[in-house]
Amino acid sequence: MLAAPDPNRWEGRRDKAMIALAVQTGLRVSELTSLNCADVTLGAGAAVRCEGKGRKQRTVPLGSPVQCLLQPWMIERGGRPTDPLFPTRTGRRLSRNAVAQRLNTHTATAAKRCPSLRDKDIHPHALRHSCAMSLSQAGVDTSVIALWLGHAGVRSTDAYVHTDMSTKEKALALTTPLTAKPGRYRPTDKKLAFLDRL
């Protein structure tokens, strides 16, 4: 998806920065479209500030790959601190529908190189899920994921733990195989004598 936006077009550079920011931060589409230029801090302590559900403020740190996309975008974008970070060509805020339409366009482009995307419905909320799943697969505690995503409680985050097959596969690998005999291992006298000689 990140390779799909055309880097030779203004909209492509905007969309690439927007998608990367959405996937790394897990912002809701409403949070993403309401970002202003002043909400992003780059360099030491890089982060994005947003207002989530219930007017709750939160700050999410930014990794260097996202900073590398945002920095040139923000220079090209220009604008005052209160201007939208990801505007339309006329300078207005992108709507939720506009973001969804941009994702559909880029999904269709990406599907040419990645056929598994052909039948996928990639909506803006899927980017939020991608962020949550990568945090979960990295072993981040669900309470931290809840804070990261701006959830009111940890229960909303439990769904990511339940859908993460790699975590379940790791848990399965730690269990005793069905073919193992129950009980405790008792080495033979011959093996004990061999170990004594070491």
Per the annotation, the verdict on 77 as an active-site residue is no
**59 - beta bridge partners?**
49
DSSP characters over 75-119: HHH---TTSBSSB-TTSPBPPHHHHHHHHHHHHHHHHHH-GGGTT
- Give the separation between CA 38 and CA 79, rounded to whole angstroms: 10
**60 - beta bridge partners?**
48
b/e map 183-196, b = 16+ CB within 10 Å: eeeeeeeeeeeeee
Per the annotation, the verdict on 160 as an active-site residue is yes
Q: Which of 9, 56, 118, 125 is catalytic?
A: 125
Q: Which of 13, 16, 28, 77 is catalytic?
A: 28
Q: Which of 53, 92, 168, 170 is catalytic?
A: 53
- Give the separation between CA 131 and CA 73, rounded to whole angstroms: 22
Per the annotation, the verdict on 125 as an active-site residue is yes
Helices (H) and strands (E) in the chain — how many of each? 9, 3
- The single residue listed with the structure tokens 């949550």 is 132
Per the annotation, the verdict on 92 as an active-site residue is no
Retrieve residue 171's tokens.
């848990």
The continuous run of DSSP H or E covering 170 comes out as helix 165-173
Catalytic site residues? 28, 53, 125, 128, 151, 160
